[in-house]
Chains A and B, each alone.
Chain A
Amino acid sequence: ETGVTQTPRHLVMGMTNKKSLKCEQHLGHNAMYWYKQSAKKPLELMFVYNFKEQTENNSVPSRFSPECPNSSHLFLHLHTLQPEDSALYLCASSQAPGKGPDTQYFGPGTRLTVL
């Protein structure tokens, strides 16, 4: 595997379900990100992790719970979601943060549908 991978690619869940999205990066990066892409809206940053520590939570509802066990893996745990949470969820990674932004490399995304 190369680059950034995400599983599953598609997910349909009910509002009472609990599911998790997985992201893995094979680039040796130390920062990982979750983005949400809804129809007709700009990409929205959700969470940022640096060296496994969460450094940014962009006012995301608590029904989204991220987990970063190591620099290569990032999870997004989902529970009691709403239909408006249906979107494409993109994971990205970048090199360790330095004195300027690092280029972020994205995975293919998970298309989530909440019924």
Chain B
Amino acid sequence: AQKVTQAQTEISVVEKEDVTLDCVYETRDTTYYLFWYKQPPSGELVFLIRRNSFDEQNEISGRYSWNFQKSTSSFNFTITASQVVDSAVYFCALSEARAGNTPLVFGKGTRLSVIA
């Protein structure tokens, strides 16, 4: 069975601090996809990144970076120089790689509060 664990329920940081959101996953599949979504107070889930299990290169997009490590089944997300607009709930999700629809399995989310 697939499972995604985001152990950090809530994190508070002061603006300009760096913050890392942890994500640990479980799957029996050798091929799978990992996602991060951001949910601001407006409610909409905003897609941030998708990664397949064969691509372990870290990725950087502006102030965002992701560290994928298959050895520890982790896909952590770091925000550098955090800003108040980064305040949101962040979800990590996992999906199998098979034909047809592959439901996303979400973690419970981490609520990030960035204080000015």
Contacts and interface: CB of A to CB of B under 8 A. Distances in A.
Interface of A: 31, 40-43, 45, 48, 50, 55-56, 58, 88, 90, 92, 94, 97-101, 103-109, 111
Contacts of A56: 101, 103
19 contacts: A31-B101, A41-B108, A42-B106, A42-B109, A50-B100, A50-B101, A56-B101, A90-B45, A92-B45, A97-B99, A97-B101, A100-B52, A101-B33, A101-B102, A104-B47, A105-B47, A106-B47, A108-B42, A109-B44
A99 B99 contact: yes
Main secondary structure of the interface of B (DSSP, over half): loop
B10 to A, nearest CB: 12
B104 A45 contact: yes
A58 B105 CA distance: 13
B114 to A, nearest CB: 22
Interface stretch (B11-19, B56-64, B90-98): B90-98
B44 A103 contact: no
B75 to A, nearest CB: 15
Nearest to A44: B106
B40 to A, nearest CB: 10
A40 B107 CA distance: 11
B45 to A, nearest CB: 4
B50 interface: yes
Nearest to A100: B97
Given A100-B102, A108-B44, 10 more contacts: A42-B109, A43-B91, A43-B104, A56-B101, A98-B99, A101-B101, A103-B35, A104-B47, A106-B45, A109-B43
State the 8 A-B residue pairs at the shortest beta-carbon distance, nearest first: A106-B45, A101-B102, A101-B95, A108-B44, A109-B43, A43-B106, A100-B97, A42-B106
A107 B44 CA distance: 6
